[in-house]
């Protein structure tokens, strides 16, 4: 797909991978990027300004992707304004940091919040956008995680939600074929402000250094590295139903149990 002149929605588009993807879409010539956010209004507007500076239109749009009515309204507003929708990038996500052995901490509230945003939210966005994407011969990229493939991640609920996103990607690739291609990316550790805020600058830097040394390429991904992969999947017209791991090759290493 040539991204020039296209209209895109990027969920969680104001920060991290979503921000980097929005900017890369603008650099690729997108006509407009709808930058979805739920709480980060200031960051969404800042990203919108960067997108506009690159010559594309940009609209920050507040919607909780776990609320299907808000998702439908976002898609309807986009189509009403631009008369089309070509690209959907499902990047919005949430988590709770819970040690995997602590099963009692995985309350209904935790499960409902994480699955509601990460898995059901991704599905709600795909379903709401499907009709317009079919008309446009469009494409979807879902942001999953390396936690979908290994017993790792911030919590079991998070890992399960992202594994669901990978399987949802495969199922939708068939359900929406041949009109819409659906792929996903599974980043490993990504160097980001969110990671630093979660663990503190010093601890985050130490973890990033350790992770980088454990990868064949001796580095970890930036948000822009992941966004580059998202754009590549959007542009390639013969790839669908695939999940691309972005973790510096760490996933190919044999890691025996201690």
Q: Kindly tell me the burial class for residue 194, based on how many C-beta atoms sit within 10 Å of its own C-beta (0-12, 13-18, 19 or more).
A: middle
| Alpha carbon distances (Å) from 229 to 165, 221, 224, 235 | 17, 11, 9, 10
Nearest by Cα to 26 from 77, 87, 81, 84: 87
Give the H or E element holding residue 233: helix 223-235
- Which residue in the list 37, 61, 82, 158 is annotated as catalytic? 158
Q: What residues contact 110, with CB distance under 8 A and at least 6 apart?
A: 96, 98, 155, 157
Whether 37 is a known active-site residue: answer: no
| Catalytic machinery residues | 158
């Amino acid at each position: 797909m040539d991204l020039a002149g296209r209209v895109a929605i990027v969920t969680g588009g104001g920060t991290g991978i979503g921000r980097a993807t929005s900017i890369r879409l603008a650099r690729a010539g997108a006509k407009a990027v709808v930058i979805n956010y739920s709480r980060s209004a200031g960051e969404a507007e800042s990203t919108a300004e960067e997108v506009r500076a690159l010559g594309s239109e940009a609209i920050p749009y507040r919607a909780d992707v776990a609320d299907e009515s808000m998702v439908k309204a976002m898609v309807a507003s986009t189509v009403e304004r631009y008369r089309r929708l070509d690209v959907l990038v499902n990047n919005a996500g949430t988590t709770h940091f819970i040690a995997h052995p602590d099963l009692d901490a995985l309350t209904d509230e935790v499960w409902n919040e994480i699955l509601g945003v990460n898995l059901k939210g991704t599905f709600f966005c795909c379903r709401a956008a499907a009709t317009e994407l079919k008309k446009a011969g469009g494409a979807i990229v879902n942001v999953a995680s390396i936690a979908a493939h290994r017993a790792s991640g911030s919590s079991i609920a998070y890992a399960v939600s992202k594994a669901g996103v990978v399987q949802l990607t495969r199922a939708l690739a068939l359900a929406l074929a041949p009109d819409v291609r659906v792929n996903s990316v599974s980043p490993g550790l990504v160097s980001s402000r969110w990671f630093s805020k979660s663990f503190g600058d010093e601890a985050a830097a130490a973890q990033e250094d350790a992770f980088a040394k454990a990868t064949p390429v001796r580095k970890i991904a930036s948000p822009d590295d992941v966004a580059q992969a998202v754009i590549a999947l959007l542009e390639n017209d013969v790839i669908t139903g695939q999940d691309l791991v972005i973790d510096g090759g760490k996933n190919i290493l044999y890691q025996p149990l201690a």
